[in-house]
Every structure is written in structure tokens, then in C-alpha cells.
Chain A
Amino acid sequence: MARRDTPEINAGSMADIAFLLLIFFLVTTTMDVDTGISRKLPEKQPEDVVPPVLKEKNVFEVNVNRRNEILVEGDQYMKVEDLREAAINFIDNGGGSAADMASQDLSVCSWCEGAKDPASSDHPKKAIISLQSDRGTSYATYISVQNELVGAYTVLRNRYSNKKYGKDFDRLNYEQQKDIKINIYPQIISEAEPTK
């Protein structure tokens, strides 16, 4: 019998087939971009709970009405782009006197660089941002306001961590981040029920 080599199957087009499949999957799959602003909702309170008494000066009030206008501290009309700066000034004020702070188991905020205005917040741990919106406010405005308020904390945390550790907040280890989150600049944003 005459021995012949079996002819090889030409595999040259294999690459083409694979490419075709590759391109098909590239086109049909959608990469879902899952990024967003993370918030934690408050736990449900019992009906008879008494809200804690807060000093007026420790609350930074932000109101957004149904025409998407922003009112700060009840008397200042503000644009979104100015909100971050105003929130930073408020949180970072640190105006509490030593005696006043000692009575609340806190020491004077040594890392604050604010104006130390006695009429503004005492301490970052006491500073509360209160956000109230209207049911008719557009979601876009609402998110922008939230973004700026969260951004104010980010700026302050980054400033502190750069000074103390020489790097951004995101690059710190878990313990360091936790320390800043709890003891230095805790994020206290409270949302009131929207007006109807």
C-alpha cells in the first residue's frame, strides 16, 4: 500500500473565527458602570423617640425647593458651586471654647483651620448638615447637592490625611481611615422628610 501523509487541515482561518466571536462578544455585552454615591439610611426610630436637642449654630441647614433653588441657613440663596466651600467653612470652623468642649468630653479642634467663629459650629464631631428637599425637587439637583456635601468632607479628610500621613485619604489603611471617619471628620449628613 502506498503510504501517503494525511493532508493537514488548514488552521489558518481559525484565528478569523475566533476574532469573529471575540468581536461579537465585545459588541453585545454592556459593561455596566456601577458607580454611585453611597449613603446609609437611618434606622427606623420608635414613634415616641425624643429628638436630641441641638444647638442652632451646630446645624448647617440646606433647603432645596421645588424650583431647584438652594437656601442655606435659612437666609442665603446659594448656587451649587458655592455649596462645597460653605460646607467646608462650617465643618472646619472649630469655634468651641475649651471650657465648653470639656463639658461635652471633647477637646478643642486642633486640626481645624476655620475661622473659629463662635457663631458657627463648635467641632467637626458636633457639626451636623441638615438637608431638606421638596418632593418636587429634581433628582439631578438633589444628587448635585449631596455630591457637594459629601465632597466637602472628602476635601477635609484629604487635607488632614495629607498633613498627617503625607498621602490621600483613599490610600490610607483601614485603621487610619476609620480613625479619621470617627474621630476627626465624621460625616454627619441628616436628611429631613421632604416638604410636600
Chain B
Amino acid sequence: MAKFGKKKKGTPGISTASLPDIVFMLLFFFMVTTVMRETSLKIQQPVLPKATEVKKLEKKSLVSYIYVGKAKDGSPGDLIQLNDRISKVSDVPAFIFEERRKRTQKDIPLMTTSIKADMDANVGTITDIKIELRDVNALKLNYSTRKGSALDNIKN
């Protein structure tokens, strides 16, 4: 019986050697899927309105963003940010041409302009941008919104 007595050992521990691999896999997944914001906002972070009839923007590489919001110091009036500087409405065509130059010819008709405007912005500012966009034939437009009931937009 001495033979059997010798065999007595603790239960073998579960190997955790592959745990780093699992975690690294997760890490890479998040690193690849998340998009770092390329531009820092020079205006106040726009509070996007809510809407229900939303569509997801496909092909993020073909989207150009126009930000509309208030100045950081809170002074009234809408500011427009293109790339990383505050611009005027008349700079919009140049911005669109610059964006087009970065893409191949066949992608140009698929390009979308996304307007990220603050809830308190004026329709006049948006219209001015739209007229500029129409003049340079950038017709695909997306009003960036959050998901939610559109009725929440209206303050009572």
C-alpha cells in the first residue's frame, strides 16, 4: 500500500499561461475597432439632436465632417469648424475639394458630408452650408443625430 500512498498529490492548478493571449486578443480587437478622433474640437462639443429615423453611416473613410456649434467662451452665434480650425461658410467649397483630393476618382460620388450641429444652432447657418455644398455638387448629406425620440428635442 505504500505505493498508493506516494501518489497522493494536490489537484493540479489550471494553467493560466494562455490568459495573456486571451487578453491580448481582446486588446487588439479594441485597438482595431475603435476610432480615435482625428480632430480636436475648437468649438463647444455640439449637443446633437435626437431622431428615430436614423441610418448608420457606412464607409467612414468617405465621410467629411462639418461641425457647427457655439464658441468655447459661450458667446452667441454659430461657429463652423472644418478640419481643425474655425472657418467661415465660404471656406466650405475649399474644404470639400481638399477632401476630394484625398480620395480616388471613383469614390468621389460616394462621399458623404456629415453635419454635426448643435441643437441650438440656427437653420440659417445650416442652410448656408447646404447652399455651398450644393454649389460644389457634394449632394450626399447626413445630419448627425443621436438615437432617441425626436420629441425630446423640443424644450417645453
* A is bound by B: yes
A→B interface (CB under 8 Å): 11-12, 14-15, 17-19, 21-22, 25-26, 29-44, 64, 68, 80-81, 133-144, 146-148, 150-151, 154, 193-194
Complex: A33 Cα to B114 Cα, angstroms: 12
Asked whether B143 lies within 8 Å of A39 as measured between CB atoms, the reply is yes
B64 to chain A, nearest CB (A): 12
B28 to chain A, nearest CB (A): 9
Besides the known contacts A18-B27, A136-B122, A140-B49, 6 further A-B residue pairs in the complex with CB atoms under 8 A apart = A36-B55, A134-B123, A134-B124, A140-B120, A148-B150, A150-B53
B15 to chain A, nearest CB (A): 11
What are the residues of chain A within 8 A of B24 when measuring CB–CB?
A: 18
Which bucket holds chain B's interface residue count? 35 or more
> Which single residue of chain A is at the shortest CB-CB distance from B144?
A36
Asked whether A142 lies within 8 Å of B53 as measured between CB atoms, the reply is no
What are the residues of chain B within 8 A of A150 when measuring CB–CB?
A: 53
Asked whether A135 lies within 8 Å of B122 as measured between CB atoms, the reply is yes
Q: Is B110 close to A, CB under 8 A?
A: no
Complex: A40 Cα to B110 Cα, angstroms: 12
Question: Which residues 80-133 of B have a CB within 8 angstroms of A?
Answer: 112, 114, 117-124, 126-127, 130, 133
Per-residue CB contact flags for chain B residues 55-72 toward chain A (1 = under 8 Å, else 0) read: 111001001000010000
Interface of A, secondary structure class, is mixed
Complex: A67 Cα to B38 Cα, angstroms: 37
What are the residues of chain A within 8 A of B68 when measuring CB–CB?
A: 139
What are the residues of chain A within 8 A of B52 when measuring CB–CB?
A: 147, 151
What are the residues of chain B within 8 A of A42 when measuring CB–CB?
A: 134, 139
Q: Is B23 close to A, CB under 8 A?
A: yes
What are the residues of chain B within 8 A of A35 when measuring CB–CB?
A: 54-57, 144-147
Asked whether B151 lies within 8 Å of A139 as measured between CB atoms, the reply is no
> Which single residue of chain A is at the shortest CB-CB distance from B34?
A29
What are the residues of chain B within 8 A of A31 when measuring CB–CB?
A: 34-35
Residue among B26, B114, B134 making CB contact with A43, cutoff 8 Å: B134
A32 to chain B, nearest CB (A): 6
What are the residues of chain A within 8 A of B123 when measuring CB–CB?
A: 64, 133-139, 142, 194
> Which single residue of chain A is at the shortest CB-CB distance from B121?
A139
B65 to chain A, nearest CB (A): 9
Q: A32, A37, A133: which has the most chain B beta carbons within 10 Å? A: A37
Complex: A160 Cα to B36 Cα, angstroms: 41
**What are 15 sample pairs from A and B whose C-beta atoms fall under 8 A apart?**
A22-B26, A31-B34, A35-B55, A37-B51, A38-B55, A39-B143, A41-B133, A41-B141, A42-B134, A64-B123, A134-B123, A136-B123, A140-B154, A144-B154, A147-B52
